[in-house]
Structure 1
């Protein structure tokens, strides 16, 4: 034991009070073995992060075990690259951007796209993937955002809305559709419990795969990793672009490949009008002119030039024109207001975070160093802990950098990508804010407008306000209809009264 202690002491010369850590391990029954401690310390030395061990001798053996587990799970090997990449990022020349090549949802090719997409679904080649790591805090809701009551009358939670969509598609195409759900460390256990408590909404348990999102450490301006408390590193989720890494690290991509799945329908949790399994979009992704079948996107027309939403556009590269997304805050005012010959916004293709990715493309992104998604950093206020003084700090101005990557940064890495424009009323009613735009109230209005239009298409008289919006609360569940045509011969009602609550 003495020899091991002396060896570690020589390795930990730069780490304050390291002998006390060794003594703690000895006194607590060596819960952590010396080899692991040695490896951890050497790893921290390689990345100049040994300050993390300051004060570690005050932790209990159990807390120290958790702390070392957290340290060893961090992507320290990437951190130096993340810091170098984000600190040297240059602003892009946005003057070279051009509007995207958009395919309209109602083109003459829609029938062909639908047939191709339905064939893939029937063959079991399609999986659903939902980014659901968020909490409902901004909505005043305690729990995962996917548990938030989203529908107009019955208040079905978002998870149920998508589960019923997938179940309806399974019944229609006589196939099992696996659903991969990316959670976060904050909501993983609650999400799993919610599905179990609801008996997986009538679907098979084994068709649900929960994948925790990765995290990355927060740093100060010098690249030093921050701590949030004694024995706990300050971290943040690695962004929706972390979905690729999570799918790879969890083994989900290999599982998909083994099951013969070739395409992944990607969407985020906060939009109850998403078509989780859309045969037309799937067919366009693999069969439209100009697609490489690697990654495709959906868009809707921007509400107005000032809407705070990223836009899809084309950017020239050495390999030719590629699709990309420009965040609303980066788009110059003149370009945001630019009009085309038809009087429409030239850069008005709003990104709604709905994509199809091929499994092969996702695998290439995950394992090839040449196609990894770039990191972005944001200067934020992060509460932190000073281990040397034992003080907790609540900053009044940004003191730390958070790192994340974005799924749309994969678009320029595809050889050729297509963008399918759909109707905002049909497919975009996000619930992001407690009030105002993109709130539960605005989402309910859009949902009622869509459902009212569906019923009108089969002859039902719908009451409308002077502004054209539906003057009733109308809810049509996915098990009743996935699209307007499904309502033919399914309803005997002739009209809905003004102010009525109607559910199918």
Structure 2
């Protein structure tokens, strides 16, 4: 079994700065690709610096970089002016909603999902490459503390949801001797050491280290607008993460897909680290997608208004896709589905996906057809004439990235699952104090959910005089180890009261404080 943090992309290494013939061949290859400028300062470098550059250039598929640039800059945009003809709402047969479904139907999906989890067929992919820069933190975003009474990080909250779900699945008839939900954590190069160290320092939050696998997303060179690879120093090319859509190549290139095959994983749940309400390996979502025989699935939330600036899952040119708000004209955005009175284009994307392992293995076959997106940036770069590093004041180059939803057009059996935004989506994007998608709203949304859990179970909340009720939410925190999604509370709190402020870490503690 592959232990935690043992997977990584391997870069070729050499003992010396290369035989002259090897270096000459590499130079000729890059010259033929129009990127020979990368060797401009080669002769000025020390032997170690030369080796650093050679290693990086040998590991890079320069021809692929050129193809990606060519496609990104010359292919027409998929959105043309006649948008209403190109876009179509989701087909009814691939869409269901927990907002409309009966309790019996939701229980049916949940049972299917729990059965799959109990047979060790389900794993989780966490997209955790981002840093908390906007939040005023240099640490990986998953390390961030949203100021819950427990001061738990996002990583800890999610790890404990996995622990609880393993316990719930263990109770299923015919469950494996030990139910395991492997957790595959995708970092970026800069965040990997800190992420791994954070897990180690916290004893993997109670999970087995052998079932947590860290891997890195890939990178692509930064490019000038005419496609030349930029350098950040005389011995180092400038690179940037290839976007959350780089997860597919990273799964393959780092050996994660092989690891999943060894574990006999069949279904994957993938999500972003910054959603404090995420239901990790959600059995209802898993069960729905399995029942639909989907090879790819997307969780969505209902748009609040036609002009809410979120991407929408819909059909574009008869294929499933996510269409950005800026690409939808006003008439299309306001269109109503006459059958339910909801927005026809109201399936808001939240980057929360289901895959079969077969689909993830199939991505390689259409990877060259995936769309790359251009992000125009100010990029610190080496002046190839003077050899000086320049910090530009104007946009001077581009980073190329893929989005995780770029595979949607290639699915054969798509399933779209609408969930309650209040219960499942509260992203952490903005700095403290901004009032939207920030630490304060994340904290509020978790605490308000825990109040709903107690009230739905028949309990009553009594707000104590010492409860400051920050952001208007009574201070009641339930550990994920107490309940995953509200289950198991009624037999303890029905007809009883709980006084805030309070933090409850176990069912035994809940029993002792309910009166």
| Range class of TM-score, shorter chain | 0.7 to 0.9
Deviations 1:14-71 (A, max 9, x none): xxxxxxxxxxxxxxx9443435423422331231111011112222222222222222
Q: Name the structure 2 match of 1:186.
A: 190
State the distance in 1 between where 2:154 and 2:200 align. Answer: 15
TM-score (normalised: structure 1):
0.87
Q: 1:165 to 1:383 in 2, by over 3 A?
A: same
Taking the aligned partners of 1:67 and 1:195, their CA distance within structure 2 comes to 32
Q: Deviations over 1:159-185 (max 9, x none)?
A: 111111111122222301111011101
Is 1:268 paired with 2:272? Answer: yes
Say which of 48, 57, 65 aligns to 1:71: 57
Q: 1:261 to 1:151 in 2, by over 3 A?
A: farther
1:454 and 1:181, CA in 2 relative to 1: closer, same or farther beyond 3 A? same
Decide whether aligned partners of structure 1 residues 487 and 409 sit closer, same or farther in structure 2, where only a CA change above 3 A counts: same
Alignment RMSD, CA only?
2.2
Deviations 1:477-501 (A, max 9, x none): 2111001122223458933557x34
Which residue of 88, 91, 97 corresponds with 2:87? 97
Residue 419, structure 1, aligned to residue 416, structure 2: yes
User: What is the rounded CA distance, in whole Å, between the counterparts of 2:89 and 2:190 in structure 1?
Assistant: 39
What is the TM-score when the length of structure 2 is the normalising length? 0.85
Deviations 1:435-483 (A, max 9, x none): 221111111121122111111012222369xxxx964122222111001
Query: What is the correspondence of 1:295-310 to structure 2 with a 5 Å cutoff?
Result: 295-310=296-311
SS of the equivalent of 1:462 reads strand
* Equivalent in the alignment of 1:448: 447
Match of 1:147 in 2: 143
The 2-side partners of 1:496 and 1:56 are apart by 70
Q: 2: distance between equivalents of 1:370 and 1:442?
A: 38
Equivalent residues in 2 for 1:74-153 (5 A)? 74-91=60-77, 92-93=79-80, 94-95=83-84, 96-100=86-90, 101=92, 102-105=95-98, 107-108=101-102, 109-150=105-146, 152-153=148-149
Deviations 1:118-167 (A, max 9, x none): 11111111111000000010100121111111362222111111111111
Q: Quote the residue 2:346 is aligned against.
A: 348
Alpha-carbon distance, 1:245 to partner: 0.3
Contact (CA 8 Å) 1:168, 1:482: kept in 2 or not?
yes
- The CA distance in 1 between the partners of 2:354 and 2:276, in whole Å, is 18
Paired residue secondary structure (1:489): helix
Shift of 1:371: 6.7
Q: Does 1:256 align with 2:256?
A: no
Q: Distance between the aligned counterparts of 1:30 and 1:446, measured in 2? A: 56
Structure 1 residue 164 and structure 2 residue 157: aligned?
A: no
Are the aligned partners of 1:431 and 1:443 in contact in 2 as well (CA < 8 Å)? Answer: yes
Indicate if the aligned counterparts of 2:17 and 2:50 stay in contact, CA closer than 8 A.
no
Q: Check conservation: 2:332, 2:345, Cα contact below 8 A.
A: yes
- Larger displacement relative to structure 2 (61-70 or 409-418): 61-70
Once residues 47 and 490 of structure 1 are traced to their aligned partners in structure 2, the CA distance between those partners, rounded to angstroms, is: 69
- Give the 3-state SS of the residue equivalent to 1:336 in structure 2: helix
- Structure 2 residue runs of 5 or longer lacking an equivalent are 1-14, 171-178, 464-470, 506-515
Aligned partners of 1:266, 1:249: CA distance in 2, in Å?
18
Aligned residue in 2 for 1:201: 205
Q: In structure 1, what is the Cα distance between the partners aligned to 2:475 and 2:61?
A: 49
1:484/1:371 CA distance change after superposition, 3 Å: farther
1:19 maps to what in 2?
none
> Which residue of 1 is the match for residue 405 of structure 2?
408
